Structure 1
Amino acid sequence: MVEPLPHVREIPPYVPGKPPVARAGLTTYKLSSNENPYPPLPSVRATAEQAVTAMNRYPDMGCSALYDALATKHGVGTDQLAAGTGSVALIYHLLSAYCGPGDEVVHAWRSFEAYPIAITAAGATGVKVPVTADGRHDLPAMAAATTERTKVVLLCTPNNPTGPALTHAETTAFIAGVPADVLVVVDEAYVEFVRMADPVDGLALLRDHPNVVLLRTFSKAYGLAGLRVGYAVAAPEVATALRAVALPFGVSSVAQAAAVASLAAEDELLARVDALVVERDRLVAGIAAVGWTVPEPQGNFVWFDLPQTDAFAAAAGEAGLAVRPFAGEGVRVSVGEPEATDRLVEVLRGMKRPT
């Protein structure tokens, strides 16, 4: 039998959030995948349905309409853009373009579950730097972990699954200390949910540092998780490399059309984000009222740092809530419908708080 490359056997599996188990007489809620709970906007759905009528044709491999819309939105050139099937695809593209055996990729941990998978798939070596006790990136430790073998540093802000976001000042200082031949990826999948002083201005970082790469997605705030479309903003040379290694015709016609329509309806979609932030604040207040604490959430989720993950997930499941446990480390819970918030608080009220 033909064997795969040795590192392929070492790729850890991605564990998706599970759907809720049906409960008789009880509405269930999926809070395990950080999805947007709102249904598609009518205007976006109509555009996607129209695009389906041409499904017998290949999509625009150059993503022309999408790149034009994004260039206008961000004030960048279309040559600075690269699209993929979700921002996670751009992580794979970037690591395959810039890393190989012997190269290192520095990232916080726990952070986005796909990082170790993509790093191993590229044949590179991941250097995990533990987050602080309050779930934040330990930037001094990440700087110390950066060596002559480092090719990429991954910054996840807000950090998934722990929740806190980096400030612009600390990120700027960190990047200034990173060698210019090391790519610094600022993964901003949840940027639209950030409400804090001195938030990261990724475009400003990119203007000042050509080794910065920004990652964005339409999956969360824009509610297109099922269509898989994300993008990178980078220096033209980096964007060219990302496009070169991308799967041809990877972003479907329907996804491109829905993304462009979402940008056109951005005010309406971001009003939904504002509502989710309000619900996030209500959830945090409810959590505090029953004596629990969580790291500062800046995405559409909260993190419970506790080893009893199975017990927590089971209690939530009995209440009709699917959550995302990370065995022995903690549980991430997405911000969802108000009823889901109320039910989660009641679950917490009946559970023993960790000491």
Structure 2
Amino acid sequence: MPETPARAPRPRDAVLALPAYIAGRRAEHELTAALASNESHHAPLPAVLEVLAHSSAAVNRYPDTASTALRERLAELFGVTVEETVVGAGSTGVLQQIIASLCDPGDEVVFAWRSFEAYPILARLAGAVPVAVPLRADEAHDLEAMADAVTPRTRVVLLCTPNNPTGVPLAAAELDAFLTRVPSDVLVVIDEAYIEYSGAAAVDSVALFRRHPNICILRTFSKAYGLAGLRVGYAIAAPAVAEGLRRTGLPFAVSALAQRAALASLEPAAAGEMRSRVAEVVAERSRLTAALRAQGWVVPDSSANFVWLRMPDADREALVDLLAANHILVRGYPGDGVRISIADAAATDRVVAVLARVTPPAAAALPASVVFA
């Protein structure tokens, strides 16, 4: 009698159905302008380099899994309690903790689209239902439509400000009106990964948190602070929510090097150097935006370290390929457009020179609806 073939282990169906997270293309040529990932083009802050140089001898020891010193510094900085702070492996790691902590299978996570690519992936990984609400024609969150999308099954709403990849921030008055419509048992996550680049356009999320205990502020050291390779982010939330996030975090997920680098980044001198670097990026963002608009491109006002060009897919693919042929890597989003991260003046000049050879396409319409199977 023939033997029954052995069954091999396999991932859950929900995992097999997940799209892979696609990171920005990496530079493989020394002349390449790597503008596909929203990382800092600056070298790490001097204070960070000094800390790393003196801390590597202790990597045989486990880190403080509670990130106590960093949480205490963050609490001091924002005027909150240590119990209201959470540290995780980048803001994406903390976001995974948020969804795992609050969502049962079948619960809903509402977010704008297009926004951060990990949102629907993390929702489905937890068995939750991603509810994507199309952006407005001005590339901003449609907060009225997002409030309409909240149902009794909604557990989390994700607001990315400034939005990745469009760069458009939330407006304070619209956000206030939105918060009055959201039930108090729904967690509203204000994802501020790019907040340091926003200047006056930023909402006062800490003040909102004090008025609305169902707000969770989500931030990272990966962008303006230049610690993308060390993976450290944090959240501010009500004590009960924050405790749930800490319980769902992977033990020892944030290395001792990452914790010490983040602490060094918050020292006054280092923070001042970070702000100086941010000012350079903001200046280049303004210069690139003005130059592209002069060429006929439609560019929304960005409050992040990138600019956004919405266009049909055929034009998107051609533009990404043309820039790559000129050793400039950018991020293309199927069905939507192209995001160009900001680096130094030389990178801006190269992008402007290449795009000057292209006839800007007619702006593509935003999708009327988005479905994540």
- Tell me the TM-score range normalised by the shorter chain: over 0.9
1:329 Cα shift? 1.6
Q: CA deviation at 1:284?
A: 0.7
1:243 corresponds in structure 2 to: 246
1:301 and 2:310 equivalent? no
Q: 2:342 aligns with which of 335, 341, 344?
A: 335
Q: TM-score, length-normalised on structure 2?
A: 0.92
Structure-1 separation of matches of 2:346 and 2:198: 23
In the alignment, which residue of structure 1 is the partner of 2:5? none
Paired residue type of 1:123: G
Rg (Cα) greater in structure: 2
Distance 2:104 2:182 in 1: 20
Q: 2:87 aligns with which of 65, 83, 103?
A: 83
- The 5-angstrom pairing of residues 21-170 of structure 1 reads 21-22=28-29, 27-170=31-174
Quote the Cα distance in structure 1 between the aligned partners of 2:189 and 2:129: 16
User: Between Structure 1 and Structure 2, how many residues are aligned?
Assistant: 351
C-alpha distance in 2 between matches for 1:126 and 1:142: 12
SS at 2:106's partner residue? coil
8 Å Cα contact 1:85-1:228 kept in structure 2: yes
| Shift, 1:346, TM fit | 1.2
Aligned-residue offset at 1:22:
2.4
RMSD: 1.1
Indicate the residue corresponding to 2:279 in structure 1: 274
Question: C-alpha distance in 2, partners of 1:125/1:142?
Answer: 15
3-state SS of the aligned residue for 1:161? coil
Deviations along 1:310-349, one digit per CA (max 9) or x if unpaired, are 1111111122110001123201110011111011111111
1-structure distance, mates of 2:136, 2:299 = 13
- SS of structure 2 residue aligned to 1:296: coil
In structure 2, how many angstroms separate the alpha carbons of the residues matched to 1:79 and 1:196? Answer: 29
Contact persistence 1:21–1:322 (CA under 8 A): no
Q: Is contact 1:229–1:259 with CA below 8 Å preserved after alignment?
A: yes
Q: Deviations over 1:161-189 (max 9, x none)?
A: 01100022211110111000100000000
1:211 corresponds to which residue?
A: 214
Identity, in percent, stands at: 50
Structure 1 spans left out of the alignment, 5+ residues: none
Runs of 4+ in 1 over 4 A off after TM superposition: none
Task: Identify the residue that residue 258 of structure 1 maps to in structure 2.
Answer: 261
Shift of 1:299: 0.4
Shift of 1:21: 4.4
Report what 2:357 is aligned to: 350
Q: Secondary structure at the match of 2:266?
A: helix
C-alpha distance in structure 2 between counterparts of 1:277 and 1:109, whole Å: 25
Corresponding residue of 2:199:
195
- Residue 18 of structure 1 is matched in structure 2 by 25
**Residue by residue, what CA displacement relative to the aligned partner does 1:35-58 show, whole Å, maximum 9, x if unpaired?**
111101222111022121100100
1:12 is displaced (CA, Å) by 1.5
Contact 1:21 1:317 in 2 (8 A): no
SS across alignment from 1:53: helix
TM-score (norm 1): 0.97
Unaligned 5+ segments in structure 2 are: 1-7, 363-373
